[in-house]
Structures are given as C-alpha cells and as structure tokens.
Structure 1
Amino acid sequence: MSLPDLDLNRRILVLYVGGTIGMRASPDGLAPQRDLPAALAAHLGPWAESLPLYSIQSAVDPIDSADAAPEDWLTIARFIAERHGRYDGFVVLHGTDTMAYTASALGFMLAGIDVPVILTGAQVPLEVEGSDALENVVSALTFAACPSLAGVGLAFDGVLYRGCRTTKVSSSDFAGFDSPNHPPIARLLPVPAMDLAALQRPDGTEPGFTIPDHLDARVLSLRAVPGLPTAVLDAILDMAPQGLIVECYGSGTVPRLDGHMQVFLERAVRRGIVTVALSQALHGGIRLGAYAAGSALARAGVMDGRDMTFEAAYTKLHFLLAQDLPPVMARTLFTRNLIGEIRD
C-alpha cells in the first residue's frame, strides 16, 4: 500500500538533543555542537517545497547519547507534552547508541498521542561528506507529514519502525536499526509504502500521557554466559534492584550452576524484584519451559518477556516502577501489551 497523501501544511517541531548528527571535530574527537539548527536549516533549504512546515530547536545542552539517562527521557517527554496541541508532529534528533531506549521510553510515557513523534539521527555527522544525516531528517519529516501516522516511531535509512520495537543492529551501516519481531510501519524506497496492520495499536490504548515525576528505579540485567560465576548472583541481590532482566540463551535457557540459579531466582522474586526473562537472540523471542534447562525461571515466578526488545523491557520496568505500584501490579502490567511492545 502506498503512503497516504502528504499534508505539507502540517507544523512539525524538530528538537535536537544531541548525538552524531550534530557533532563536530574537537581536540578530543567528535562532540555535540549547539548551532545545529542553523546548519540543518541551510541543508534542508533545497528540500523546503517538498517538506511540511518545520521549525528547529536545540536542547540547552546537547549530549552524546552514550551519556543519556532516564531523566533525559523525562525531559524530552515533558518538552513534547507541553507543546502537544501546538504542533502536528515532532521529530527528535538523537544519538544512535541509545535512540531505541528513548524511543521505547517515550512510547510508554506518551501512550495514545495523536500525532507522530519520530526519532532519527545519523551514523555520520551532518557536515561530513557522505553523511546520512540529511536523508534521515528528510525521511522523518516526510513521515511526520502523514496525517494517518501517530505515536512514537524511529526513522532510519528511509524506513519507519514502531519505536518500542527497535534495536540498533549496526554501528556503521546506514541501515543501523531494525525491528526484529515486528514489521516496519512504512518505507520510502524502493517505492513509498505503508503497512496499516503494523500501525495498529493494542486494543484499549487511550490518549493521555503518564509522565512520572522521576525515573530513578534500580533496574539491572543478568546475561547468561558460559562459566557465569555464582558470586555475580550474590552481588546482584546485594544491590537490591527493583527490576531485573535475565538475558537467556535461545528460547529461554540459563545455566543451572549446580542449583544456584534456581535459588537466586526464587530469592529475587520473593524479595519483590520484578524479574523478567528475555532472549539474547534477536528473532523469535522466548518460550519459558520449552527446555528443562530453563524451567528454573518458570518455577521461580520469572515473567516471560516473549519477544520484547531489551530496550523496551528496560524502559517499561523504569516506567512502571516509577509509579510506585505494588510488585504484583507492576508484574501484571508488565505482561500486558501496552503500546505494541509485545506480541499478544
């Protein structure tokens, strides 16, 4: 299906928060610049007649996305919420390293938003020859001009993905992102097309933002590896996390460690730690109990993260834990498909 007719009268606000797209050379390597809006406007000039009405703002202190923290997700969400109703869409220029985290976090906080919020960035700075920056910004603005699009997405290399389904898959290729377990929403090449089924939201998604006062929960991850020391398990419990992601092999197996893993998981769940299992594999998700080696998770009460990305699970835990919910309620909500982040 082709893209719906574009509405070039739509008003789109572009927010630059940092990342490679706006970096310049410095004595210590590439660093964010603060005057990207002027430079970007100049580059977009020749495209102006084919783009919606846009304005560009820069964050007060653009950052390298490697320095991004949950509080930065809050800042961006509040910025958009305060201006919702004055614009027909938003484009957020963000560093690629943590863009999928921000896209997922914004999806939860801005659930049901009735305009597009599209994140993009670049693998090569705008002012470097051969950059992908201009193409990505033009693509994001083009998608933002589609009246039928709404919600948080991520646009890269001419493809629009559901934000909470994305993960970074390359540190150098222009096709730097993918949504391994969910089809893209739209693409511009080889011909413009949109998948309306991929655009659908879960039943019951209601407009209305839930932006917490803070996002300071302690969420940790445990990655299964051959020869995992049992001391790591004790160290995790000593840190008293509120949320824990167990990154399993394949469809849901973890090393037994002579029974230590079972004891660890049971102790974590008893302590009220919201514990979820994900697969280290990009495709297919997890199926707890499919193998005897993974039955320890199911017996301990670990939640099945199914086909969620790590980024979606991590930000969803932060989002739920920030609301001071009882652990049983946080567990219940975690298993629900809130914004399309998980298969039904």
Structure 2
Amino acid sequence: MTELVTPPESDFFIPQVKLHDGDGMKRKRVLVLCTGGTLTMAPNPEKGGSLSPVQGALTEFMKKSMLELQNEKMPDVVVHEYTPLLDSSDMGPPDWSLLAKDIKANYLYFDGFVVLMGTDTMAYTATALSFMLENLGKPVIFTGSQIPLAEPHTDARQNLIMALIFAARDAPISEVTIFFHDKLIRGCRSTKVNTGELHAFDSPNLLPLATTGISIKENEHLILPPARGVLRVHTRMDTRLLTIRLVPGFDDKILRHLIRAGAESGTLRALVLQLYGTGNAPSVKEEFIECLKEATELGILVVAATQCHIGSVMMGHYATGRALERAGVVSSNDMTMEATACKISYLMGRGDLSRDEIADLMTVSMRGEVTHTDALPPPPFSSAYQRGRLKGKYFY
C-alpha cells in the first residue's frame, strides 16, 4: 500500500487515489489531464454553430460511450478537466507550469499520465514539459484529435485509447511523447505538419519511438534509458526570446533596431534566426553579419535554425555559415523550432547559467532533442562542464 504524502504546492491533487489498491487486480492507474482542444468541442448555437469547448463532455463520453475502458487490460482512469477549457492557441508557459506541477503533485499515485489538448501548440507544450520534467520515470503522453469527440467519425477515440495503453504498459516508455494517428513520437522532436489530415504530427529528424497496427512495434534503440534520480520540476521559462524567419530582401535596419531596443530595455535575451538550408544567410551583406556580432556583444544569444523541415544546420559547410560562426552565432543543429525555442526558454529560466554556458548546452542532447552524427559531431565539453558545475544537473 502506498502511503499518502503531502504534495508540493499545486492547484490539483488527488489524495484518495493510491497505486494498486482495491480489487486486487493490480490494474495500472492513469491520470488524464484535459485542457481542452478540438477533442472537447461541439457546435455552439449561441456562436453561430462554431466549435467551442464543452465542459464535462469528455468525462461523460468516457463513462457512457467508451466501453473499451471496461476491458480488464485497460488501466483504471481518473479524469481531471481544467476550468475553463482552453483553445491550445491560448496556452503558454503558465499553463505548461501548471501541468508540470500537477503531474508532480500526483506522481506517486499514478503509473502514467495522459494530457489532452488542442493540436495547434501541442508540440510546444510537449517539448516544454520534456525539459521541465527532469528525471522523468513515468510516461507522459500528449494526444488530442483533428475531429471533435461528438462526431461519429472522430479520431479522438483511437488516439485516447492508444495513449492510455502506452501510459500503462508494463515496459513503459518513460518520456514525454505525443501519440497521434498511429505513431508515438518524442515530444521534443515533434512538430505539427498537417491541419486537414489525421496524421497531424511528425518527427522530422527522428523515427517514431513506436508505431501501431495489428501490434505495437518499438524502435527500441531510440528510446531513452531510464532516468536516474528523483523527479524534479522546473517551472520557470524565460520568454525574452524573438524568432525571425529570413526572407530575401530582409532589411537589416529592422533587425538592428530590434536588437538595440531589446538589449536596452532588457526584453531580449535570445534571438533565433530561421536561415536558408544548412544555416546560410546573404554573404555580401556585411551589415547583416555586423548586426549579429553586435547582438552577441550586447549579451544576446543568437541561434541559427533552418527553414527546412528535414535536415540540420551545419554552418561550417559554406563560407556564409563560417561568417556567422565568427560573429558568435550558435547552431540549433537538427532541433525543431519548437525544441529550439523551448530549450532556450528553459535554460534561460534556470537563472544560474551564463550566455556562453547556454550556448554550450544548445549543442548537447538533454532530453533526446538533438542528434549527434558523423556529420554533426558532438561538441567538446565546455569549461562549465569541466568545472563540474553542470555535471549531473541536467543529464540523464
């Protein structure tokens, strides 16, 4: 029998639920946290028939219409619907922090967690929680749907059932992941790629951790080893970050103005540039390079990302990339934009890292968010790592 413990400060805690008590069947227990999204929506006559979240609809549907949950192979499920239910485009760091705290508060009492939300910012939320939940030893699976639960052809049922199954497996994948359509992908490798098809998410630079069909097939070599240590939750995300997608003819004066104004006001600590191909920018525009050099001299972290869906930033391949390196620009390697932005926000939010230390960590895989290959060699250990300041603090 699991003893009750005093939870950390959180808005939500279920003290009455204990692991594997009761009927002796030792069913796994899964906590479903529902924030809203298409899955919970139905036509609202008061809003001209447009889709709006319906409070309580998910719980009612699961009780009355999901007979699969009565199967002895399925886990016991507890559902918590947040009030109010949100469109995911309205979610941000405060909501991510609340999810992380609620998972922490209920961590000892459930075998796994499923987060239901809208798809628009699901990749950002899953990525953020990947960093916020350090030493995670249980599955946290995000899912949702492209079609509302109230529709007869909804994809919500299958996504929810499979998320529950993955959350309660005897050999769990103890990472933050997204299950959608027929794939389980690492949260910090995910990105939304389709607004009108059921395969809404992709993991462009990493194969799925598992796929489902007649059976579940895992890519075991990609799954992270079990975490060491006690779960730690980090809820501070520093959002003093700007992302800019470069287009031909971009006026450098605008960028210089943003950099100077942001540095002077303290509202800009990091700048992510989505560049061409492997991290290229105009080589004849010396003012652009000088602008980035000024940003680094002002203490701003400048990171180069690629506009390409698949592939990596490799600034050393072309002369333009080398010029960026000399200006102090850091590569995002093959991270998604979601991972790049959330990792920067997480590291800046730690509060105990310098700009150079954050730059070092951008090239290090902390939660499986970045790949090291022969073409993308691992960086040398930073001076911070050699001093032991970071050792054991961030890595599995």
Please classify the TM superposition score into its range, dividing by the shorter chain length. over 0.9
Q: Structure 1 residue 24 and structure 2 residue 51: aligned?
A: no
Q: Distance in 1 between matches of 2:94 and 2:216?
A: 36
Distance 1:201 1:280 in 2: 31
* Per-residue Cα deviation, 1:79-113 (whole angstroms, up to 9, x for no partner): 10111111000000011000000111100011221
**Aligned Cα RMSD in Å?**
1.9
> Partner residue of 2:162?
139
- Aligned positions of 1:144-223 closer than 5 A: 144-148=167-171, 149-201=173-225, 206-212=229-235, 214-223=236-245
Alignment size in residue pairs? 336
Paired residue for 1:38?
60
- Structure 1 alignment gaps of length 5 or more: 1-6
2: CA distance, partners of 1:38 / 1:11: 19
Change (3 A) 1:271 1:127: same
Alpha-carbon contact 2:252-2:291 (below 8 Å) kept: no
1:232, 1:82 → 2: CA distance?
46
- The answer (yes or no) to whether the contact 2:189–2:339 under 8 Å persists in 1 is yes
Instruction: Give the fraction of aligned pairs with identical amino acids, expressed as a percent.
Output: 35
Pair 78,285 (structure 1): closer, same or farther in 2 beyond 3 Å: same
| Paired residues of 2:303 and 2:329 also in contact (CA < 8 A) | yes
Which stretch of the first structure deviates more once superposed, 131-140 or 19-28?
Answer: 19-28
Alpha-carbon distance between aligned partners in 1 of 2:225 and 2:305, rounded to the nearest angstrom: 23
Give, in whole Å, the separation in 2 of the partners of 1:8 and 1:341: 34
Structure 1 residues 75 and 290: alpha-carbon distance in aligned structure 2, compared to 1, 3 A threshold:
same
Q: Residue 91 of structure 1 contacts residue 117 of structure 1 at CA under 8 Å; is this kept in 2?
A: yes
- Which secondary structure state, in structure 1, belongs to the residue aligned with residue 150 of structure 2? coil
Deviations 1:194-231 (CA, angstroms, capped at 9, x unpaired): 111111249x865432413x334311101111111223
Is 1:118 aligned with 2:145? no
Matched AA of 2:35: V
Q: Which amino acid aligns with 1:120?
A: T
Which stretch shifts more, 32-41 or 258-267?
Answer: 32-41
TM-score (norm: length of structure 1): 0.92
Cα separation, 2, equivalents of 1:255 and 1:210: 42
Out of 116, 121, 124, the position equivalent to 1:101 is 124
Alignment of 1:1-344 (within 5 A): 9-26=27-44, 27=47, 29-35=50-56, 36-49=58-71, 50-148=73-171, 149-201=173-225, 206-212=229-235, 214-237=236-259, 238-240=261-263, 241-256=268-283, 258-324=285-351, 325-344=353-372
Q: Which has the higher contact order (CA 8 A, sep 6+)?
A: 1
**Equivalent residue for 2:5?**
none
Q: Which has the larger radius of gyration?
A: 2
Query: What's the CA shift string for 1:310-344, capped at 9, x where partnerless?
Result: 00111111111111122122222222210100113
Tell me if the contact between 2:304 and 2:332 (Cα under 8 Å) persists in the aligned partners: yes
TM-superposition CA deviations, 1:42-88 (whole Å, max 9, x none):
33224430421111110122110011111111111111011111100
SS in 2 for 1:85: helix
CA deviation after TM superposition for structure 1 residue 257, in Å: 6.3
Paired residue secondary structure (1:182):
coil
Code of the residue aligned with 2:31 in structure 1: it is L
Q: What TM-score, normalized to structure 2?
A: 0.81
Unaligned runs of 5+ in 2: 1-24, 373-396
Between the aligned partners of 2:84 and 2:76, the Cα distance in structure 1 is 25
Secondary structure of 2:84's aligned partner: strand
The Cα offsets for residues 135-192 of structure 1, whole Å up to 9 and x where unpaired, read as: 1001101111223221111100021111110001101110111111111111111532
State the one-letter code of the partner of 2:197.
D
Give 3-state SS (helix, strand or coil) of 1:322's partner.
helix
Partner SS for 1:58:
strand
Distance 1:101 1:207 in 2: 24
CA distance 1:142–1:272, shift in 2 (3 Å): same
What's the CA shift string for 1:105-146, capped at 9, x where partnerless? 100011221110000000111102311111100110111122
Distance 2:253 2:88 in 1: 32
Q: Tell me, yes or no, if the aligned pair for 2:277 and 2:313 is still in contact at 8 Å.
A: yes
Counterparts in 2 of 1:140 and 1:215: CA distance versus 1, 3 Å: same
SS at match of 2:350: coil
CA distance in 1, matches of 2:126, 2:224: 17
For the residues of structure 1 that align with 2:62 and 2:323, how far apart are their CA atoms? Answer: 53
CA distance in 1, matches of 2:51, 2:170: 37
Task: Please give the alpha-carbon distance, in whole angstroms, between the structure 2 residues aligned to 1:284 and 1:31.
Answer: 38
**Structure 2: distance between partners of 1:199 and 1:22:** 31
Q: Which residue of 1 aligns with 2:6?
A: none
